[in-house]
Structure formats: C-alpha cells, structure tokens
C-alpha cells in the first residue's frame, strides 16, 4: 500500500475527529481502476464514526420527539 494513501487516510481521520466524532472503524482499499486507462492505483476509504448529541429535553416525561409520526405514545 502506498504511503501517500495511508497519509491521506490519517488526515481524513484527523478531520473527522476535529469535528468531535469518535472513529469506530476504518477501512482502506487500494486497487487499479477498471474504468481508467492509467496505471495509477486508486483508494477508497470508509470511515465509521459516532457522535453523541445532547438530548433536547422539552420537559416532557416521555423522553421522545413530538415531531416523530412513528413514535408510540
């Protein structure tokens, strides 16, 4: 795997983490493009991340979102 690809992957993770996300899974795939006539490899990076959000409690004890039409009351 090319060092440039790994450096780009690290930079993408840094950007995601700077926005407050916790990276939980990471995958990089390097391949030769079947659509291009060039010999340069390509990479795909998949980042799975989570970010908790504070609950905007409106004082209701049901803990739900009144705007959700699928919520059981």
Cα 5 from Cα 11, distance rounded (Å): 10
Neighbouring residues of 59: CB distance < 8 A, sequence distance ≥ 6: none
Contact 23, 48 (CB under 8 A): yes
| Token duo for residue 17 | 């983490």
Question: Is residue 63 situated within a structural domain?
Answer: no
Is it the case that residue 66 has pLDDT exceeding 90?
Answer: no
* Domain span including residue 13: 3-50
Q: What pLDDT sits at residue 25?
A: 97
Question: Is residue 37 situated within a structural domain?
Answer: yes
| Token duo for residue 8 | 């780009």
Question: Is residue 70 situated within a structural domain?
Answer: no
Number of compact structural domains in the chain? 1
Question: Is residue 56 situated within a structural domain?
Answer: no
Q: Does the pTM of the predicted model rise above 0.85?
A: no
| Token duo for residue 28 | 């990089």
Question: Is residue 64 situated within a structural domain?
Answer: no
pLDDT digits (tens, 9 = 90+) for 18-63: 999 999 999 999 888 777 777 788 899 999 999 998 887 655 555 5
């Amino acid at each position: 795997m090319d060092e440039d690809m790994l450096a780009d992957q690290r930079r993408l993770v840094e950007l995601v983490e700077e926005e407050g996300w916790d990276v939980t899974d990471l995958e990089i795939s390097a391949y030769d493009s079947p659509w291009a006539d060039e010999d340069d490899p390509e990479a795909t990076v998949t980042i799975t991340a989570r970010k908790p959000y504070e609950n905007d409690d409106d004082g209701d004890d049901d803990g739900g979102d009144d705007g959700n039409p699928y919520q059981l009351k």
